[in-house]
Each structure stands twice: as structure tokens, then as C-alpha cells.
Amino acid sequence: MGEPKSDVLLGTLDLLLLKLLELGPNHGWGLAERLEEVSDGVFQVNQGSVYPALQRLKRKGFVKSSWGVSENGRRARYYELTTGGAGALKEELARWARTAGAVEQVISLRPSASEAGS
Amino acid sequence: MIRLVRGWIERGRVLLARSRFEDDLDEELRFHIDAATEKYVESGMSQAEARRAALRALGGVEVTKEEVRNETGVRLLQDLSHDLRFGVRTLLRRPSFTLTLLATIGIAIGSNAAVFSVVYSILLEPLPFAEPDRIVRIHNSYPGRDVARAMNSVRDFYDRQDVDAFQDVALYTEIGHNVGEEGEARRVFAMQVTPSFFSVFAAAPAIGSLFPQDLVRGAASYAVIGNALWRTAFGADPGVVGSTIILDGTPHEVTGVMPEGFEFATWDAQIYTPLVFAPEARFAQARNADRFHMVARLHADASVESAQRQLDALNAVLVGDYTPENRAAALSAGFRSEISGYLEDLTSSIRRPLLLLWLGAVIVLLAAIANVTTLFLIRATARRREISCRLALGAARSRVLRQLLTESLIVAAIGGAIGIALAVWSLTFLDAFEVYEIPRIDRVGISTTVVAAGMLAALVLGTVAALLPARGLLWGAGRSLGGGFRGGVHARPSRVHHLLVGLQVSFAFILVMTTGLLVESLRHLSAVDVGFEPDGVAVGATNLPRNAYPDPASRVAFAHTMVEALRAHPDVDQAAIATQLPFSNVENRALVFPDGATTAAGEGGTSAYRTAVTGGYFEAMGIRLLAGETFTRTDDQASRGVALVDEGLARLLWPDVSPIGKRIWLNQPTGNPGEALEVIGVVASIRQNSLTAPQLPGAVYLSFSQSTDSFFRIVTKTRADPAEVSALAVEAMAGVDPSVLYYWVDTLGDAVGGSLLFLRLPLRLLAIFAGVSLFLVVLGVYGVTTHVVRARTRELGLRLALGGTQSGIAGLLAREWSAVLGAGLGVGILGTSIVLQVVRSLLFGTSGLDLPVAGATLAIVFTAAGLAFFWPVRHALRIDPARALEVTD
């Protein structure tokens, strides 16, 4: 058992993976790489945590996997977004935008301003 | 929902292709590490360094694998299969406990599934017609003359077409036809119906058409045939439409074939012929000539109640227009027309018995739940240590709970399956209950719904039985690890034990008491003097073809030849003919008007059971001749009309003088001497159709030679087995005229016994239920007591060692039970009084508050509970006190 060892903001790994897969099918290694690359090293992602997350998305029917050939000619498992996954991504993005907006509002409150305004 | 299903499919796939899954995972991670290693090598690391870095970045291969496995959701299934195996092992270790549980659940689910199947198929399942709720049945009622259910007249048919609530009204009669050429004819149930009959049942023919529009009475004859007859007799040939079939020797043109499923539960008619009235019949027919069944289809927006209101209003208007005499007669008879739903009417006689059975089955189910819970509670206490140990070693509560639940659900599922099997098996015995007279009984079967409901009930039962003990085990168990039950403190049966066993006692009381009341009723009914001697009497029926036997004389000649042929047999004591027999569910009555009696205006005559018989009838039936003489062959059409009356009618009409020589008229007090009948004898009164219903007074017997009919019954009194005599009668009939059929073969004893079916059926099954509930009480009391004495062995040993007597200690233990028993019996009495609301109409000769029955019930329940208590107690008290003190658990 044990907790997923990820320093990514709790619960956002699935969202990030879905978003990356929206750009096109990819294998676990590729996804882990892109994640580090794109986030500019902000997320200290334990690469291994990509796999349980992918398995979770697969069980939910958001992604499907198939075996293909990688850039260097090796057999690799590729993951691909399903229509259900695309829908889920859209929902998640909307929710993320709402959450982020709310967080932004809260943290931009200035204590003195709220007192002065009253 | 779809997502959920997909998730489970994915889980199942992973579980089934386990090694494939692992191989794939291996390869995927190997690819990852190789790719990462390659990347690090490119950045300048050595191969070994790069590989270590790759592994570090991944976070460990095995850890990752484990996390992926967790995400498959397969873990739950693995646990489940582990729990299942563990559960089965645990259950197998305690075979007697497991068998008891399986038997209890099996019997409870089985009886409920079987009874519910019967209840559903007969009382609840909609009739196979379109919008069956709109079909109603109407019958006239004359409570003032003790005739609750009479039929309807032709005038009623025309009058009631004006009732707004009725969309269609139809009349029909149930008849029989000899179908086919003489010599190879077969007897077929049939109906004569008004053309509107088919629209009442919203039925159209499968092929062909219904009767032609412009039917004229006495013109060409038509017939519509049923699907079953079409398939069996005509090989499902569509060409039958337009062809001619012979009914009772008369050709009829077949216009159509009804679809499959168009059938009637109590009268399996396969031929429908039109019922046509001459236009003047509406007025010519006497109003009291109630000869027809009436059905109607309500308009979609009408209800039985609104139709009833309208019909009442119509009747009030019509009765107002009667002649003063008729109006007074109608009022004194309490004339009323009653509308009831068709299905309700069809099942009216069996509704209460079935509801009682249903109630009985539900009580058995409740008792079983109480019992299974008790058993699990006891079992749980015995497992307290095991559970405590597991909790102490760090097992999650939810995990242990799941284990307990799995165990009881295994038992419940197997028990439920046993129950369903029992139900299927028990329904094959329906025939043994002589239930053929119950409408729709042939439809009874275990449906998938019943199977599903039965399994669900079993699983709910299992869950309840597991959760109740689990509460105490998981949350109160921490302290019991060390001590066990050394002090005996934990071992005292809890209030829950007592409550559950008390409930079982109540349930047993209810069922035993109700069974007792039914037994008592049956005993009273068996003692009812029917006034005739049913033993050794074989009965049958025949219908003489009209063209071969067109006039009364030919029918009388046939009847007498038949009777003589039967009498010639050495085993036959007497044989006779009657137009109707007692206990045959028909009741033709006539109004009798005595000579000289001042027929006051509106005096409606005296209603009497009317049957026409040959002279040997009274001897064959064992009906005592009290005065005068019986009919002879010379009482024929040419001679004066004669009649016998029964004691009841004699007392009503001539309370003070002998009836012999008095004259009577039937149905119309014309006073015309040519139509008068002279009373030549008086016979004992008999029960006409029912042992339970209040006896309608009066019967009048006519001479068959003078009042003949083409349909009649044949009665044969034998000293041999009546069933064999029936074969003899068939043979005799063939000897007289092979074209005539002998049918409705029965014995009079069966006919009389059959009238008690409504009591016998629930009685037999309730007796079984009562036995089961007593058995459950025994199990419950025995189980709890055994558990108590085992757990208190040390304490009991101590008491014995300190000089306590065995009986004293037994008394001590018994005191704990007496309150439980007392409370259980109290609740039982209360419950019985509720059940009596359903039962009361089934009881005969007992009010329900029957002290002897209640006393016997108390004794039975007490004895059962007492034996179950003393057996383990006695066993425990035999123990050597020294050894008892060493026992720790």
C-alpha cells in the first residue's frame, strides 16, 4: 500500500497526464520526461508515480494502451486519450480554473485593505 | 455507471490475465529504465552510474510495480478470494453449526419462495387480457333469500348497456360440447357468449374473424375455436376457418381461431358459440330467470366504485317500475347487483387461505432471521479470542468485518440456493394437495424474479446476521484477549440473545396456535352431518346429443337403460340419474309455491334446491326417506306430476301438517292443476354445496322422467372401489350408445372433501411452518443454553463443589429463561390476535379465542423450549466439579 510518492500538488498528476496525452499518444517514460521538461523542474515528480496514475486512468477508461515501437526502435507501451478521457480532461481543466481562480482571489487579499474598506 | 462497469471489466481482465499483466509491467518498466539509462549515459555518466540514477529517478522498480498493482483494483478481489477460502474453511470446521444455518436459511427462503410463487401466480399476476383491471364481473344478489351470488338475466343485459361506466357488457354461459362425428366425438369445454364478450376481453381472433354482425336467432350456426383445440384437433391448419365442425351433432361454421393465451382459468373453453336473443326476449324473459354470467369492460376513466354507484341508481329506477308484487319481492329479497374486479372475483375463494399462507411464510422467515442471528451471536462469542488476537496483531477492523461478512454471506448464498431448490421441488407436490380446483394453479412456477428476490432475501439475512454480532466483537472485544471468559461475566446471554429467542417463541406460538385453530375447524367440519353417505359413490356426467335424443322420451329411455346396465353388475348396489348433485358447485334453485297458501302480494315463493332424479337416487346417495314413497318408472310424462320435498322445505311450507298429498307449483304460482306437482314423499335434508356456509333451507326433487334434461349426472353406489366403478360406468355407457361420452368422473367423497380445500391447503402448509418454527425455537434455546453452560462451567462447578444441588442450579438457570418465555408467549398471543384478522373467515365452530387450543399451544411451545433447555443443562451438571474448575475456556 503506501502513499503515492509525488510532490506534485495532490490530485493534479492525473490532470497533467491527461493534458500531456491530449498532445498525442506517448509511453510512460516519455510522459515522465515531458512532465519534468514542461514544468521546468518545478514538479519534483517521482518518475515511478506516473505508472500507477496511468493504471488508474486506464481503469477509469480515460486512457487506453497498446504496444508500439519507440523512437529508438524498442517495444514500448503507448498510452492514448479516449473520448471519455477527453471529456474528463475538459471537466478537470474547468474545475482547475475555478479552483485556481478562487485560490488567487484569496491569496491576493490584503489585510489592511479589507480593514480600511470597512 | 458505464464507467463503473468498465472499471470492473478492466479489473477482471487483469485478474484473469495475471501473468500477462506482470510480463507487460516488467517490460514497460525495463523500457523506462533503459531509456533513462541511455539518457544519463549521453549526459556523460558511466553505464553503471547511469543505471543507478535511472532507478533512483524511478523510485524503485518493486515499489512502482506494487503501486500499479494497487491501482488495478484487483487487490479487493484477491482479498475476497482469500476471505472466501478462509470462510469456507471456518465453516467446514464446524459442520453442525454450518448445517443448522443452511437448513434454517434453506427452509425459510424455500417456503417463502414457494408460497410467494403461488400467491403471485394466482392473486397478483395480471390476467392475460389487455388492461385487465378494467374487466369486471357482475352478479345479482338476494341476501334476503340467502342467495348471495345469483347470475344475470337477458333483461339485465339490455338494461345495463345504459350504465355509463360500462364500455361493453356481455353475457356468457359455460357449457360443454361433443365435438366431431358421432362415435369419435370428444368432450370439449365451451362457452356461449354474446358477441360483445370478445370486446369485453379486448380480444381479436388470431386468424379468421369473430361471429358475423347480423346474427339472427335460429339461423346458421357459427363457432370460434380456441387455440389449444385448433392445435390438438385441427393440427394448427389455417384452413379450418370456413370449414364445418359438428357440435352435439349439429354442423357449425368455424369463423375464426382465438390467439394463444386467450383462455379462462376456471372454464377452459375451446369453443365459443354465439348467444343471440330474439328482440322480444328483452321483455319476454322473466326477470328472475338469472341464468347467465355477466362481464363488462369499464371505460378507461371509470372505476368499480363509480360503476357500482351507477348500477345501484339504475336498479333503483328499474325496481321502481316493477309491478307492486315484483317490487315487494325484490325489496324483501334485498335485491342488489354487485360489481367486482374480474381477477378479484375469480380468486375470491382462495384469497384468504393464500394470504394466510403468505403470512405464515413471512413469520417463518422472521423466525429464521432471529435464529440465524442468535447462532452467529453465539458463534461470535466463541470466536472472541480469535478476533481480539487478529485486531491486536494489527488487522484493520474493516478487514475483519469483511471477513465476518464474507463468512455469513457464503452461508446465506448456499442456504438461499438450497431454498430455491427446495421451493422448486416442493411445487412439484402441488398436485398432492388436490389443488386442481384453484383458479390459475397451473400457472404456478418459480420465476426468475422469485429466484432473485429469494437470493436477495438470503443475502440480507446473512448481512444482518453478520453485522449484529460484529458490533460487539470489533468494538467491545479489546479487553477479552487476556481473560477469556474466566469469570463467566461475558458469558451471560445478553439481552439480545433473550430478545431473539423470545421472538422465536412468539413466532412459534402464532403459527402453532393458528394451525390449532384450523385443525379445530376441520374437526368441527368433519363432524357436520351432510345428510347423505358419500362413501362408495362414484359420479359422472353426460350430455346426450340433441339430434340423436331429440325428445324427453328418448332421453328417459337412455337413462333407464344406462341405470339398468350399471345395476346388472354384481359390485353395484344402486345406480341413478340426477340433473344436479350436491357439492358440484352448481346450484339450481326454484321458487316453490304451495297450494292454498295465501300468496300475499309480493310473496316471492320459497327458494328450494331443485334437482330431477330417478327413483334409485335416494338409496344410491344414502338419503333417508322419512315419509311417503320415492319415484317409480311409471311417473312419466303422461302421469300426474309428482315431487319429493326435504324436511326443511316441508317445515317451511307445512309446519303443522303432513306434506304428503299437497300440491306445489314451481316458479310461477299459476294455480293451474295441469302444472301442479303432488308431494309424494319427504326425505332428509342434505348439505347442498358447502360444509361451512349456512345451509339454505329446502330442496325439491322432481322425477327425471317428468322433468328431463339432455345433461345429467350418473350416480353409482358400490361396495367396491368407486374409482374402479367409474371405469365400469364408462364401459356401460359405451355398451348403451358408444357416441355418448361419460365425463367429470369423480367420487362423491372427493367432491365433498374438495369443498374443504380452502381449509386443508393452508392447514397442511401451516402445520409444516409451525413445525419449522418450533424446531427453530428448539435450536435457539438449545444453542444459547449450551453456550451459557459451557461458558459458565467453572461457575457451575464451583456451585456444585460448594454443595449446590443439580436441580437447584438448573432452577437458577431456568429462572433466566422464564421471563424470556413469558414475554415471548405474551407477544405470541398478541401476534395471533392480529393473524386472526386474516384467518377468522376460515374458522368454523371456533371463535379464535379458543382456550383449549391456546392451552395446547402453550403446552407444545413450553415442552419444546423446556426440552431444548434441560438437555444441555443436565449434560453440563454431570460434570465432575474438580474438572470443571480447571476449564478456562
Where are chain B's structural domains?
2-72, 77-128+350-483, 132-299, 485-529+749-889, 546-738
A52, A55, A75 member nearest B27 (Cβ): A75
The DSSP output letter for B848 is S
Burial label for B636, CB within 10 Å (0-12, 13-18, 19+), is middle
Q: Which three cell numbers stand for residue B45?
A: 555518466
Q: Which residues contact B76 (CB under 8 A, 6 or more apart)?
A: B11
- Residue type for position B692: T
3-state secondary structure of B187: strand
Q: What confidence tens digit (pLDDT) does each residue in B9-50 have?
A: 766 666 666 778 888 888 999 999 998 898 889 888 899 999
> Are the beta carbons of B412 and B461 closer than 8 angstroms?
yes
Range from B303-307, B379-383, B585-589, B665-669 carrying the lowest mean pLDDT: B585-589
Alpha helices by DSSP H, B61-195: 61-71, 74-93, 95-119, 154-159
B6, B28, B34 member nearest A28 (Cβ): B28
**Per-residue 3-state assignment (H helix, E strand, C coil) for B628-647:** ECCCCCCCCCCCCCEEEEEH
- Residue type for position B639: S
Q: Which residues contact A5 (CB under 8 A, 6 or more apart)?
A: A46, A48, A49, B59, B63
Residue among B831, B770, B838 nearest B351 (CA): B838
Is residue A42's pLDDT more than 90? no
Q: Which of B28, B37, B78 to mutate to test the interface with A (most CBs of A within 10 A)?
A: B28
Residue among B76, B116, B630 nearest B355 (CA): B116
C-alpha separations of B602 from B508, B595, B651, B664 in Å = 56, 16, 21, 18
Beta-bridged to residue B701, according to DSSP, are B611, B644
Is residue B477's pLDDT more than 60? no
Number of compact structural domains in chain A: 1
Cβ of B70 within 8 Å of Cβ of A1? The answer is yes
**The pLDDT of residue A25:** 92
**CA–CA gap between residue B180 and residue B246 (Å, rounded):** 5
- Residue type for position B194: T
**CA–CA gap between residue B264 and residue B848 (Å, rounded):** 36
Q: What confidence tens digit (pLDDT) does each residue in B173-193 have?
A: 888 888 887 667 778 888 989
Q: Which residues of chain A does B3 touch, with a Cβ-Cβ cutoff of 8 Å?
A: 60-61, 84
Place of cell 370449414: B243
**The pLDDT of residue B135:** 94
Give A80's pLDDT tier (boundaries 50, 70, 90). Answer: very high
Q: Which residues of chain B does A48 touch, with a Cβ-Cβ cutoff of 8 Å?
A: 58-60, 63-64, 67
Instruction: Decide if B724 touches A, using CB distance below 8 A.
Output: no
**The pLDDT of residue B183:** 64
- The more confident residue out of B71 and B167 is B167
The mean per-residue pLDDT over the stretch B577-588 comes to 83
Helical (H) or strand (E) element with B813: helix B806-839
**CA–CA gap between residue B577 and residue B703 (Å, rounded):** 10
Query: What is the domain extent for residue A62?
Result: 13-108
Cβ of A4 within 8 Å of Cβ of B31? The answer is no
**CA–CA gap between residue B212 and residue B224 (Å, rounded):** 11
Cβ of A28 within 8 Å of Cβ of B68? The answer is no
Give B512's pLDDT tier (boundaries 50, 70, 90). Answer: very high
**The pLDDT of residue B294:** 93
- The more confident residue out of B282 and B582 is B582
**CA–CA gap between residue B827 and residue B499 (Å, rounded):** 11
**The pLDDT of residue B495:** 73
**The pLDDT of residue B881:** 67
Other CB atoms within a 10 A radius of the CB of residue B444 amount to 19
Q: Which of A26, A55, A70 to mutate to test the interface with B (most CBs of B within 10 A)?
A: A55
Cβ of A52 within 8 Å of Cβ of B60? The answer is no
**The pLDDT of residue A10:** 56
Cβ of B3 within 8 Å of Cβ of A61? The answer is yes
A48, A59, A76 member nearest B58 (Cβ): A48
Is residue B288's pLDDT more than 60? no
Q: Which three cell numbers stand for residue B758?
A: 380452502
Report the percentage of chain A scoring pLDDT > 70: 81
Q: What confidence tens digit (pLDDT) does each residue in B117-164 have?
A: 888 888 888 888 888 999 999 998 887 766 777 788 888 888 898 888
Place of cell 328417459: B556
CA B69 to chain centre: 55
Distance from CA of A72 to the nearest CA of B (A): 9
Q: Which three cell numbers stand for residue B346?
A: 375469480
Q: Which three cell numbers stand for residue B396?
A: 484493520
Q: Which residues contact A88 (CB under 8 A, 6 or more apart)?
A: A18, A60, A62
The mean per-residue pLDDT over the stretch B831-855 comes to 84
Does residue A90 belong to any structural domain of this protein?
Answer: yes
Q: Which of B339-343, B459-463, B465-469 has the highest mean pLDDT?
A: B339-343
Is residue A84's pLDDT more than 50? yes
Give B602's pLDDT tier (boundaries 50, 70, 90). Answer: very low
Give A72's pLDDT tier (boundaries 50, 70, 90). Answer: confident
Q: Which residues contact B475 (CB under 8 A, 6 or more apart)?
A: B397
**CA–CA gap between residue B185 and residue B183 (Å, rounded):** 6
Is residue B478's pLDDT more than 60? no
Q: What confidence tens digit (pLDDT) does each residue in B328-365 have?
A: 778 887 888 999 999 988 888 888 888 888 999 999 99
Phi/psi at B394 (nearest 5 deg)?
Answer: 105, 10
Helical (H) or strand (E) element with B360: helix B348-382
Report the percentage of chain B scoring pLDDT > 90: 17
Give B492's pLDDT tier (boundaries 50, 70, 90). Answer: low
Q: Which residues contact A99 (CB under 8 A, 6 or more apart)?
A: none
Pairing mode of beta strands B271-274, B186-193:
parallel
Whichever domain contains A75, its CATH number is 1.10.10.10
> Are the beta carbons of B275 and B194 closer than 8 angstroms?
yes
Beta-bridged to residue B336, according to DSSP, are B141
Is residue B494's pLDDT more than 70? no
**The pLDDT of residue B416:** 93
B27, B32, B72 member nearest A29 (Cβ): B32
CA nearest A29 in B: which residue?
A: B32
**Per-residue 3-state assignment (H helix, E strand, C coil) for B725-756:** HHHHHHHHHHHHCCCCCCEEEEEHHHHHHHCC
Report the percentage of chain B scoring pLDDT > 70: 89
Is residue B169's pLDDT more than 80? yes
Q: Which of left, alpha, beta for A46 (phi over 0: left; psi -120 to 50: alpha)? A: beta
C-alpha separations of B145 from B334, B522, B666, B695, B877 in Å = 8, 28, 16, 12, 70
Place of cell 381461431: B257
Is residue B537's pLDDT more than 70? yes
Give B889's pLDDT tier (boundaries 50, 70, 90). Answer: very low
The mean per-residue pLDDT over the stretch B641-663 comes to 89
Residue among B250, B106, B128 nearest B179 (CA): B250
**CA–CA gap between residue B779 and residue B371 (Å, rounded):** 8
Is residue B536's pLDDT more than 50? yes
Q: Which of B86-100, B308-322, B663-677, B804-818 has the highest mean pLDDT?
A: B308-322
Is residue B167's pLDDT more than 90? yes
**The pLDDT of residue B387:** 79
- The more confident residue out of B415 and B150 is B415
Give the orientation angle of helix A50-59 with respect to helix B61-71, to 10 degrees: 20
Cβ of A48 within 8 Å of Cβ of B59? The answer is yes
**The pLDDT of residue B484:** 43
**CA–CA gap between residue B242 and residue B233 (Å, rounded):** 16
Cβ of A61 within 8 Å of Cβ of B59? The answer is no
A32, A59, A61 member nearest B71 (Cβ): A59
Size of interface A-B (CB pairs under 8 A): 81
Give B878's pLDDT tier (boundaries 50, 70, 90). Answer: confident
> Are the beta carbons of A81 and A71 closer than 8 angstroms?
no
**The pLDDT of residue A116:** 42
What is the residue-averaged pLDDT of chain B? 83
> Are the beta carbons of B427 and B516 closer than 8 angstroms?
no
Give B487's pLDDT tier (boundaries 50, 70, 90). Answer: very low
**The pLDDT of residue A5:** 39
**CA–CA gap between residue B520 and residue B514 (Å, rounded):** 10
- Residue type for position B452: A
**The pLDDT of residue A63:** 92
Q: Which residues of chain B does A84 touch, with a Cβ-Cβ cutoff of 8 Å?
A: 3
Q: Which of A29, A31, A62, A82 to mutate to test the interface with B (most CBs of B within 10 A)?
A: A29
Buried b (16+ CB within 10 A) or exposed e, B133-156: ebbbbbbbbbeebbbeebbbbbbb
**The pLDDT of residue A81:** 92
Count helices and strands (H / E) in chain A.
Answer: 5, 3
**The pLDDT of residue B15:** 64
B10, B57, B60 member nearest A58 (Cβ): B10
The mean per-residue pLDDT over the stretch A70-77 comes to 86
Give the orientation angle of helix A83-107 with respect to helix A13-22, to 10 degrees: 130
The angle subtended at Cα B561 by Cα B557 and Cα B565, nearest 5°, is: 170
**The pLDDT of residue B604:** 60
**The pLDDT of residue B692:** 76
Give the residue numbers in A contacting B (CB under 8 Å), as ranges: 1-2, 4-5, 27-29, 32, 46-49, 51-53, 55-56, 58-61, 70, 72, 74-77, 84
Torsion of CA B574, B578, B583, B584, to 10 degrees: 120
- Residue type for position B361: A
Residue among A106, A98, A99 nearest A9 (CA): A99
The mean per-residue pLDDT over the stretch B777-798 comes to 81
